[in-house]
Chain A
């Protein structure tokens, strides 16, 4: 096993480079498993995220089931959940061994992600207690979930009542207000107004007509 990772923040860059380099040259070498596992801990503590390295670790577990560590798997998947709306959780889930899926806290985590994906946010917060010990090991867990919720809300609402938003975020009206102000939303009375984006405003009508690129035609005409 290699030397333990430096935890000093000025060394973070170095750690990431080391891991990237290690994956470049020995992605399939089971000898790197312990270092990738340490690197997961590093990410949990430092609020960092390295999807490629984590997927590399899941892959090594898949090739060497006897070295598989269910605690690390669930930590990786929890971090992947926090990366929503990116589909990291989904692409990781395909690699998780069948028997791990039925174990706790993995089974609850999978349920929780379904709640996030179907935007049942109030239920999500209610059931979160089921993975409390896992959640505590991940710095910035609640904030990351709230960031995702705010992101979906911002694409759905042009303005929203603060008490409703507070329910979705599982936060007091005060905390909700200060959170949305940080994201540049305007608050007036009990309503937050979201800056216009392509999704929460009327679309400019498309009067350019149908666009058919040259490449599309060219590729269809180059018969032989």
Chain B
């Protein structure tokens, strides 16, 4: 079921009062926990046991966030040990509770080494619970499964940033880190994601045309665990998690390669079930394309995703994912403008509304060769790269605990440097392109004198324009890594043995289709907003009467 349907129905759940005085007696600390929070936990657990995913979804997505804002804006939720008597020490529920607890702490400045360590162990316990079949009798809404997989990688990312900097660490802590390399170890993180993909049997489900290959009856010998949504989703989201992880680790080819089995070829692939997943998938995929110099594919991925976000935005304003989606949206606009600067034949698409508003000036400066704009946008819009190997902790011990700089290799700097190398290599191309567009034929020495370079340099530039615009191009329905070489130079020319450049009339094909789609989507959004307003005022009226 589509997560958005739940969302539109997300009325506040009436959390009934419960009598938990016996539990408070056993654990006096519980007495300090606000009533509303205790009632929420008891009710949440009951719904979890019932397997009522719609109610779990609302409690998870709305109530938990509301209570967090109200009672724990800058403090922790009660630890699992404190609330355990409330839920009869329900182990599976406590695993999930702790996941929420640590995720909440990671969103505050309170997060400590102990939290990070415990969160890692809890993820281990939770994933082991999945991997040993423990989750077979339970169900969770897909949005939660997505969030917890995504959060797992986020916490790994945060861990790598944390350990690379000596700031705010005591000597004991640094020593502890050095001796305990297993915590958030990259092989461990990869291992869990791969095991979840493997155990969930999701690949076979995808290869079988989005259906379990085996039986959906747990009593059968050939029971297929992918027939259970909770396993299907966690396996699927782990594939997308691997995409993100490989991007953070700067391996863009492997990032695209892990997406091989995904269901890009059907109308409603599984990733569309959770908006945050949809957005994350295409942000990282587009980024990987851009880094591999596949601008055409990056543009295709970014522009369709940006249109999609424009369409769904109004349904998400209350969601946990809203902020994240907005941020990714802005980053993708920046990346899209970089790709347009590299691949200017998309003149029509560059009239894209969002770009028109925010980036037309920056795009022009990039086309004019302003390197600082490339650098600024890349730094803003790229993922937070991490070093998979532990840093040299001995160096951290000598460094000042005040210094916030990281010690040792800085992957973000290196990625930026390689990206800028590409920018420099392509810097002259817009210039040549614009000269070529002025002529139908011109000889190389004349062109060279216009461009104020010698003949050999001019010839090299022409060859380079051909080479740099020869890129792999794939499509939306094939595995992402696949593609064929095509020319995207934006100006069609060739040279003959008399050194004459013949340029074909490079009339830009005017495309109206995307313009109309954009307008239709705009209309849809307006209609949907009005409808929501009408509904809201109608229900208010109904309450008054």
Contacts and interface: CB of A to CB of B under 8 A. Distances in A.
B370 to A, nearest CB: 19
B421 interface: yes
Given A152-B466, A217-B517, A118 B252 contact: no
Interface string B2-30: 10110000000000000000000000000
Contact of A200 (B252, B268, B422, B494): B494
A201 B520 CA distance: 39
A3 B531 CA distance: 71
Contacts of A9: none
Interface in B74-105: none
Given A118-B464, A158-B496, A65 B2 contact: no
Provide the main secondary structure of the chain B interface: helix
A90 B418 CA distance: 8
A209 B486 CA distance: 20
B477 to A, nearest CB: 7
A220 B520 contact: yes
Contacts of A98: 409-410, 414
Contact of A224 (B4, B414, B462): B4
Interface in B370-424: 388-389, 409-410, 414-415, 418, 421-422
Given A94-B415, A199-B487, A59 B495 contact: no
A179 interface: no
Contact of B494 (A94, A156, A216): A156
Interface string B126-166: 00000000000000000000000000000000000000000
Interface stretch (A119-127, A128-136, A137-145): A119-127
B494 A87 contact: no
A69 interface: no
A122 B459 CA distance: 11
B176 interface: no
B517 A224 contact: no
Given A158-B494, A220-B521, A117 B464 contact: yes
Nearest to B422: A90
A153 B521 CA distance: 45
Given A94-B291, A161-B497, A64 B389 contact: yes
A65 B5 CA distance: 48
A178 B342 CA distance: 37
A91 B418 contact: no
Nearest to B250: A94
Interface of B: 2, 4-5, 186-187, 190, 249-254, 267-268, 291-293, 304, 307, 311, 388-389, 409-410, 414-415, 418, 421-422, 425, 456-457, 460-464, 466-468, 470, 472, 476-477, 485, 487, 492, 494-497, 502, 504, 509, 511-513, 517, 520-521, 524
List the 8 closest A-B pairs by CB distance, nearest first: A119-B463, A159-B497, A212-B513, A119-B464, A200-B494, A94-B250, A119-B460, A191-B497
